Amino acid sequence: MKNKKIVITGGPGTGKSSIIHKLEEKGKKCLHEISRQVTLEAQQEGIDQLFLEKPLLFSEKLLEGRLNQYIEASEIKSDHIFIDRGLPDVVAYMDYFRTDYPEIFNQTCENNRYDQIFILPPWKEIYTSDNERYESFEEALKISSYLYTTYKRYGYDPIEVPKLSVIERTNFILDKI
């Protein structure tokens, strides 16, 4: 059974995780964002901010983790799998930070296609920063534009999710699949 892999993406602090949790509450199969896990593992190894200190290594770990999620999603028996961020997010961030990366990053994005992309726009009223989210809101705006551009470059047509309550945003997504 081929399931539909659906990415929920957007800049930092746009409400992705809240929507993923709401989808799970509704009984949907979801895979969570892995960048915090990569960051925490690096911190346990003594690297405070892996992305800032070794951006290519961080991105390689993210690409590998997201590829593993893509493979995992393919094996889940469900019509729809919702994934918090996709492979192109890695490239978008690398481009935003003007960090060079090997061609395998593009090849991985091109060879592992998602079925639908939902993008959450920057929303100042809900934006917060924390120990793993160090970007300012202004940086989050720029990252969001890189995400749009990157997904379009890989041939996707991201659907923008309106700024509504978590349940309304979740229902918007469910109505569009």
Per residue in 47-64, pLDDT tens? 777 666 677 878 888 999
The answer, yes or no, to whether residue 26 has pLDDT greater than 80, is yes
Instruction: Report residue 98's pLDDT band, with 50, 70 and 90 as the boundaries.
Output: very high
Instruction: Report residue 71's pLDDT band, with 50, 70 and 90 as the boundaries.
Output: very high
The answer, yes or no, to whether residue 127 has pLDDT greater than 80, is no
Please say whether the beta carbons of 75 and 5 come within 8 A: no
Helix (H, G, I), strand (E, B) or coil at 56: helix
Please say whether the beta carbons of 34 and 58 come within 8 A: no
Average pLDDT, the chain: 89
Q: Pull the structure tokens for residue 119.
A: 């993008």
Tally of domains within the chain: 1
Percentage, residues of the chain above pLDDT 70: 92
pLDDT at 130: 59
> What's at 44, amino acid-wise?
Q
Please state the three-class secondary structure of the chain as a single string.
Answer: CCCEEEEEEECCCCCHHHHHHHHHHCCCEEECCCHHHHHHHHHHCCCCCHHHHCHHHHHHHHHHHHHHHHHHHHHCCCCEEEEECCHHHHHHHHHHCCCCCCCHHHHHHHHCCCCEEEEECCCHHHCCCCCCCCCCHHHHHHHHHHHHHHHHHCCCCCEECCCCCHHHHHHHHHHHC
CATH number, position 167: 3.40.50.300
pLDDT at 147: 97
Q: Pull the structure tokens for residue 71.
A: 């493979």
| Tens-digit pLDDT profile for residues 101-125 | 999 999 999 999 999 999 999 887 7
57: left (phi over 0), alpha (psi -120 to 50) or beta: alpha
pLDDT at 36: 76
Domain enclosing residue 129, as ranges: 4-176
The answer, yes or no, to whether residue 151 has pLDDT greater than 60, is yes
pTM value is 0.89
